[in-house]
Amino acid sequence: MDRKRSAAAGQAWQIYSETLQPDAPGLLERVRAVPRMLKSVLRGQYKGMSFGTLGLLVLGIVYIVSPIDAIPDVFPVVGIVDDTGMALWLAAALVKSAGDFVMWERGGRPTVVVGEPVD
C-alpha cells in the first residue's frame, strides 16, 4: 500500500514541477480550467479526454466519499492511506489534463488531436 501512495505522490510532484516550466500553464490556471474542460468534454468539443477517463475520475470521487472502502477507515492509518492515494491520483490526473486543455485552448482549439485518425 505504501508503494501506491509514494507513486501517487511522485506523480503529483512531477505534475507540479511541470507547472513551473516556462510557457506551461500555472497551477492556478489549471485549477480554474477544470470546469471549462469538463464542459468541453461533455459537449464533445475537447477530444483530449475520453468519456472513459472522465468516468474513472467520477468513480474515484465516489470511492473517496463512499463509506465502503477496500481498506476500512476503522484501521487508523492504513484505512486513510488508500483514500489519500486516490485523492492524490485524482488531483494529479485533473491537473495534468487541465494543463493539456489550457494548451489546447491556447492553440486555437484545433478539432484534430495528434494521434487521432482523420477520416
| 118: nearest Cα among 110, 91, 10 | 110
Domain count for the chain, please give it.
1
End-to-end CA distance of the chain: 45
What is the DSSP secondary structure assignment for residue 2, as one 8-state letter?
A: H
Task: List, in order, residues 6 or more apart from 105 with CB less than 8 Å away.
Answer: 33, 36
pLDDT tens for each residue of 13-46: 777 777 777 788 888 898 899 999 999 999 988 8
Task: Please tell me the distance from the alpha carbon of residue 92 to that of residue 74, in angstroms, as a whole number.
Answer: 27
Is 79 within a domain? yes
Predicted TM-score (pTM) of this structure = 0.70
Structural domain for 32, as ranges: 2-15+25-106
Is 112 within a domain? no
Q: Which residue bears the cell 494543463? A: 99
Is 76 within a domain? yes
pLDDT tens for each residue of 34-87: 999 999 999 988 888 889 989 999 998 888 888 777 676 667 777 777 788 888
Is 20 within a domain? no
3-state secondary structure 30-92: HHHHHHHHHHHHHHCCCCCCCHHHHHHHHHHHHHHHCCCCCCCCCCCCHHHHHHHHHHHHHHH
Is 65 within a domain? yes
pLDDT of residue 39: 93
What are the cell numbers at 16?
507540479
